[in-house]
Amino acid sequence: MSPDRQPETVRGYLDRLREALKGAPHGLIADALADCEDHLNNEISQNPNLSEREVMASVVNTYGTPAEIAEEYRDMEAAIAGPFPKAEQPRERRNRFFNVVGDPRTYGALLYMLLSLATGIFYFTWAITGIALTVGFAILVIGIPFALLFVASVRLLGHIEGRLVEGLLGVRMPRRLPASTADETLFSRIRDALLDARTWSSLLYLLLMLPLGIIYFVIAIVGIAVPLSVTGASIWSLLTNESHIQMDDVPWLQHLLSTAPGLFLLALLGILLFFLTLHVARGIGWMHARFAELLLVRL
């Protein structure tokens, strides 16, 4: 379609809007497409005597062109203040090792890692139980309704997880469920849900969250406990003038840790390990946000 020619169908309008929003966060694109699809379908349903082409011509004049709508969504997104800074810091500041302590994403990622074990167990249990019961009920009358309810719950849990990911990891995720036409039949909605790849990718995400949650939780707990223990024991030994650190298998190291310089160096090592944990947490948060965006966002 020529860039100067206005779209004549809902699908054409959405395709042009997707092109205009190219480069924007996937969650923003998904919300914009869902909002516009809802609006356009409602306009068509309210004008049954007009063809889709005629309705679209009127809508473009009143609602706006895809390029104009895309610009409005970009401006609206830029105006919304969130817990994470949007402005990029100078590279020399971003790359400093100790600046990680001032990045809100670090603590959001660390909290997400601590919560991931609980959410991973819940997601995995829900998914496995739902799959098992769906297969078991397949030969019964309630088999199909139960399977459809399970599919709907997977999509809902995927949406809730997306909100958690956005709140703690800072990546833009969809803030509304996919659009559905007002006059769309129940069968059509079921068919769309079953044919939607994001339904099954969301189910895969729920299953993978258990092993990922275990890994994240262990890294977070060990990464916090070890540095704090090492630093705390070293400082306490310096204050009491008595070493509380035992390294009997390595005599020279035991002797070193019985001296003030050795304990001071050990305390510094604990602090460095703590900052290293913060860097690891921020890196895991970044990677998991991309992973969640890949499996949970529908475009």
Domain assignments of the chain as residue spans, ordered by start: 1-80, 90-299
Mean pLDDT by 10 residues, the chain (299 residues): 68 90 89 86 83 82 86 83 54 64 90 96 96 89 86 91 93 77 59 79 95 97 92 83 67 67 84 93 95 88
Give the alpha-carbon dihedral of 227, 234, 261, 245, to 10 degrees: -100
CA dist 24 and 22 (Å) reads: 6
CA dist 138 and 42 (Å) reads: 36
pTM for the whole structure: 0.81
Q: What per-residue confidence (pLDDT) applies to 95?
A: 52
Counting beta carbons within 10 angstroms of the beta carbon of residue 42, is it exposed (0 to 12), middle (13 to 18) or buried (19 or more)?
Answer: middle
Angle of CA points 276, 162, 285, to nearest 5°: 10
Q: What per-residue confidence (pLDDT) applies to 179?
A: 56
Q: What per-residue confidence (pLDDT) applies to 246?
A: 66
Q: Which of 133, 129, 164 is nearest to 147 (CA)?
A: 133
Residue type for 280, please? V
- DSSP codes of every residue in 60-96: HHHH--HHHHHHHHHHHHHH---SS--SPPPHHHHT-
Q: What per-residue confidence (pLDDT) applies to 235?
A: 84
Q: What per-residue confidence (pLDDT) applies to 263?
A: 78
Burial 2-22 (b: 16+ CB within 10 A, else e): eeeebbbebebbbebbbebbe
Beta strand residue intervals within 81-153, DSSP E: none
Here the contacts of 287-292 (C-beta below 8 Å, separation 24 or greater) are 288/109, 288/112, 288/165, 288/169, 288/212, 288/216, 289/165, 289/169, 289/170, 289/171, 290/171, 292/161, 292/162, 292/165, 292/169, 292/171, 292/173, 292/205
Task: Say whether 141 sits in a helix, a strand or coil.
Answer: coil
Look up residue 239 and give its two tokens. Answer: 């204050």
Residue type for 1, please? M
